[in-house]
Amino acid sequence: MEVTDIRLSLSNREGGTKAFGSFSLDGAFAVRGIRVMEDKNGKNFVAFPSRMKSDGSYEDIAFPLSKELYHKIDDAIVAEYQKVKEEKQEQSEDQAVEQEQAAAQEASKKRGRSK
């Protein structure tokens, strides 16, 4: 089985949730409501969709039945998360540079007008 069509949205929340998303298996079965989480040691992992039971505990709704498939899904999604996170950081850095350049140009224009 191949993990396909991974879609992630980075989280702005504080805490362990780093992203929300979905993925497909072989382009034939979709799983929505996954989360990329960070454990206490800073390692990322996939949390599968779950619901709260009447006793307050959580139960996964959809999940892989084998360790092999779990690791295949986890590895693919965590790799995509790292890629999306790096792209977002690059965009933020580019925007910061553009803002600095615009501010410098504006300051230069103001100095030129005051002479």
pLDDT at 81 over 70: yes
User: For 26-40, how does the pLDDT look when each residue is reduced to its tens digit (9 = 90+)?
Assistant: 999 999 999 999 999
Which of 108, 80, 107, 93 is CA-nearest to residue 6?
80
User: For 37-78, how does the pLDDT look when each residue is reduced to its tens digit (9 = 90+)?
Assistant: 999 999 999 999 999 999 999 999 999 999 999 999 999 999
**Domains identified in the chain, total number:** 1
Range of the domain at 100: 3-113
Instruction: Indicate the pTM of the whole model.
Output: 0.75
Kindly report the three-state secondary structure assignment for every residue of the chain: CCEEEEEEEECCCCCCEEEEEEEEECCCEEEEEEEEEECCCCCEEEECCEEECCCCCEEECCCCCCHHHHHHHHHHHHHHHHHHHHHHHHHHHHHHHHHHHHHHHHHHHHHHHCC
Q: Looking at residues 79-85, what average pLDDT do you find? A: 96
Q: Residue 38 is part of a domain; what is its CATH number?
A: 3.30.1120.40
Token pair 């929300």 in the structure block, residue: 20
User: For 93-110, how does the pLDDT look when each residue is reduced to its tens digit (9 = 90+)?
Assistant: 767 667 777 777 777 777
